[in-house]
């Protein structure tokens, strides 16, 4: 997992998600992860399989895994 804390106190983490192939996939994954408490921003990129999440504090990886599973994809790890 790649995490960075910026000067605003938020944490940016990049996750790898397998199976995304289009904008609909990106939206599904982003929509599910954005529902996790503390998440302020989600950017999914199907071409790279990367999902960048900005949150108030580090997220529980199992919560992220559950959200990605709910969207129909698999959390492959962190970038």
CB atoms within 10 A of CB 40: 12
| Residue range of the domain that includes 46 | 2-78
pTM of the full predicted structure?
Answer: 0.88
Inter-residue contact 14 to 45 (CB < 8 Å): no
Query: b vs e for 58-71, b when ≥16 Cβ sit within 10 Å of the residue's Cβ?
Result: ebeeeebeebbeeb
- Encode pLDDT of 6-27 as tens digits: 546 799 999 999 999 999 999 9
Asked if the model's pLDDT at residue 36 lies above 60, the reply is: yes
Asked if the model's pLDDT at residue 1 lies above 60, the reply is: no
- pLDDT category, 3, cuts 50, 70, 90? low
Q: Give the count of domains, the chain.
A: 1
| CATH code (residue 38) | 3.30.70.100
């Amino acid at each position: 997992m790649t995490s960075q804390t910026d000067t605003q106190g938020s944490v940016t983490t990049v996750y790898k998600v397998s199976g995304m192939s289009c904008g609909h996939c990106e939206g599904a994954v982003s929509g599910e992860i954005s529902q996790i408490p503390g998440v302020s921003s989600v950017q999914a990129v199907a071409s790279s399989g990367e999902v960048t999440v900005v949150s108030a504090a580090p997220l529980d990886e199992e919560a992220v895994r559950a959200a990605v599973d709910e969207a129909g994809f698999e959390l492959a790890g962190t970038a």
